[in-house]
Structure 1
Amino acid sequence: TAAPGPQLFLSLCLSRLKFPSDLDELRELAETLKFYKQEHYGYVLLLYCSAYLYKQSFAIPGSSLLNMLAGAIFGPWEGLFLACLLTTSGSTFCFLLSRAFGKQYVVHFFPEKVALLQRKAEENRSSLFFFLLFLRFFPMTPNWFLNITCPVLNIPMPIFFSSVFIGLIPYNFICVRTGSILSEISSLDDIFSWGTLAQLLAIALVALLPGALIKRYGHAHLKVDGLDGDGRDQAGRHRKRR
């Protein structure tokens, strides 16, 4: 069956599509968008990129489900490329918005956490890139909070950009691969196929290996004591209230 035209696709977007909040909604949305992608690839790509950048730019939670959606719609490798590109671009937009309009609000609402990160950033100024990588691999501080706080810490844009792109590759890979696997599974037997098990093993290795390496480097060269203290809880509590 041919996919309907652009006008009907736009009508569907306005009336039915919404951000997924669980795996059932994710699977349903993925099936719908995969159907339309057959003849309207550009529209689906534009819709997905716009939604992703919107959530990332304004620090709205839910990137994991959108990464999984990328894997389900575009496949594991194209989905990974999109997830990495959009995560980095959206985080950069968030960084710029915070630098232009939000620095005083970040300091006002999270004074203890900002003070802690400022102190640690100064202590690790000579290894700033690896310090930020450490924070991305081990989210003692939520990614959305790092995005809005880095302007306060006077993090240079090139270091911020590269640390986001590299530091979130394992996370993006795990989410995208998971979405790709979920879109291919139709029964419990599919879970225990050799192909699926190999992909799950690859996900486990990608999750563990970079983290182990950067953790070893961090213990030897970085000063990160205290980052998992009260400041994190303060940011988390405020985010929940929002």
Structure 2
Amino acid sequence: MRSLLGLITVVVAASLYLYTLSLYLPAGPRRPHPASSDREHVDTAESPDSTEGASRLKFPSDLEELRELAELLQFYKAENTGYVLLLFCSAYLYKQSFAIPGSSFLNILAGAIFGPYEGLVLACVLTTVGSTMCYLMSQAFGKQYIVNFFPDKVSTLQNKVEENKDCLFFFLLFLRFFPMTPNWFLNMSAPIVNIPITYFFCSVLIGLLPYNFICVQTGVMLSEVSSLDDLFSWQRLLQLLAIACVALLPSALIRRYSQRHLKLDVQSQNGVITEKKVQ
């Protein structure tokens, strides 16, 4: 009971912090215009009101909401980079820490707002830190509940960890590159199956790099593409091909290593690890 109250306290405190942060949306930049008579009208039309802007700050659930949010944050980033960075990091860590689905949209948003390099660094760091916070909260508050809710999945993961303890780090990398179990479940169950936090931290940072790279590059293209003609240009197609090659190379290397060294006689069905039947 004490662990449940502790978890509820953490969730409520984090939610209040994020909500309070969204209320203090600063004034956006205003563009000067030569005609003073039209200035107020244009400024009002181009600069969203702080109250209206705050009401549009929500986690995106589709690409249209993602594009609108990206445009809003890009607008405020022009003069309030620190606030936008703090808000984005806080929202990302909130979703990762509490295993809320939809982090892929935030990775795309990172590319759209911060560009390909800063966006990738942010996505990798925030994914790793947020997953580690989920690990620590599960260790502190959730062990009993996770075992009670997912006994079979925890038991299967525990067996696989024991079988691959001699090359545990590469096993964790394999799980990130080729997820036989959802990332949110792996984050919460890692302390239960005795995965060291150092292995966990490094495997998330390296293992999710290709995924974060693809999402961030998608966000960069989303912010630059204005029509389908731009999307299907030769430049974009070559860029997509290069992104695919960069993302697939480490996956191929990990798969080749796993076939030789890891014990992976498992198959995935609806996100659940199940044993293969040996004939």
Fold match (TM-score > 0.5): yes
Q: Distance in 1 between matches of 2:249 and 2:147?
A: 35
Structure 2 partner of 1:2:
29
For CA contacts below 8 A with separation 6 or more, give which structure has more relative contact order.
Answer: 1
Q: Is the 8 A contact 1:72 1:176 kept in 2?
A: yes
Instruction: Measure how far apart 1:2 and its partner are.
Output: 2.2
1:180 to 220, 223, 244: 220
The answer as to whether partners of 1:2 and 1:39 remain within 8 angstroms in 2 is yes
Q: 1:52 to 1:230 in 2, by over 3 A?
A: closer
Is the Cα–Cα contact under 8 Å of residues 177 and 199 in structure 1 kept in the other structure?
A: no
Q: Is the 8 A contact 2:93 2:129 kept in 1?
A: yes
Structure 2 gap ranges (5+): 1-27, 31-42, 44-48, 275-279
Instruction: Map 1:39-54; keep pairs closer than 5 Å.
Output: 39-54=79-94
Q: d(CA) in 2 for partners of 1:203 and 1:180? A: 12
Name the structure 1 match of 2:241.
201
* CA shift for structure 1 position 203: 1.7
Segments of structure 1 that go 5 or more residues without pairing to the other structure are 235-242
Q: How does 1:55-94 map to 2 (within 5 A)?
A: 55-94=95-134
What is the one-letter code of the residue matched to 1:57? Answer: S
Corresponding residue for residue 109 of structure 1: 149
Find the partner of 2:194 among 154, 160, 165. 154
Q: Identify, as 1 or 2, the structure richer in helix.
A: 1
Which residue number in structure 2 is paired with residue 240 of structure 1? none
- Are the counterparts in 2 of residues 112 and 231 from structure 1 also a CA contact under 8 Å? no
Q: Distance in 1 between matches of 2:53 and 2:128?
A: 25
* Alpha-carbon spacing, 1:223–1:29, altered in 2? closer, same or farther (3 Å): same
CA contact (8 A) 1:174 1:206 kept: no
Deviation at 1:183, TM superposition (A): 1.0
- The alignment of Structure 1 onto Structure 2 pairs a total of residues equal to 230
Contact 1:75 1:180 in 2 (8 A): yes
Question: Residues 200 and 12 (structure 1 numbering): CA distance in 2 closer, same or farther, change over 3 Å?
Answer: same
Q: 1:7-26 CA distances to partner (integer Å, 9 max, x unpaired)?
A: x65x4564221100000110
Name the amino acid aligned to 1:122: E
| 2:183 aligned residue | 143
Cα 1:170–1:38 change in 2 (3 A) is same
Deviation at 1:228, TM superposition (A): 1.9
- The alignment partner of 1:151 has SS state of coil
Distance 1:80 1:23 in 2: 19
Which position in structure 1 is the counterpart of 2:253? Answer: 213
- TM-score, structure 2 as length reference: 0.78
CA distance in 2 between counterparts of 1:230 and 1:219 reads 23
User: Aligned equivalents of 2:245 and 2:155: distance in 1?
Assistant: 35
User: Structure 1-normalised TM-score?
Assistant: 0.90
Matched, 1:29 2:64: no
1:137-183 per-residue CA deviation (whole Å, 9 max, x = no partner) reads: 00111100000000011111110000000000000000000011011
SS of the aligned residue for 2:249 comes to helix
Q: Is the 8 A contact 1:34 1:73 kept in 2?
A: yes
RMSD of the TM alignment (CA)? 1.8
SS at match of 1:228: strand
Given residue 146 of structure 1, which amino acid in structure 2 is its aligned partner? Answer: L
Which structure is larger by alpha-carbon Rg, 1 or 2? 2
Once residues 2 and 14 of structure 1 are traced to their aligned partners in structure 2, the CA distance between those partners, rounded to angstroms, is 16
Q: State the alpha-carbon separation in 1 of the partners of residues 229 and 193 from structure 2.
A: 50
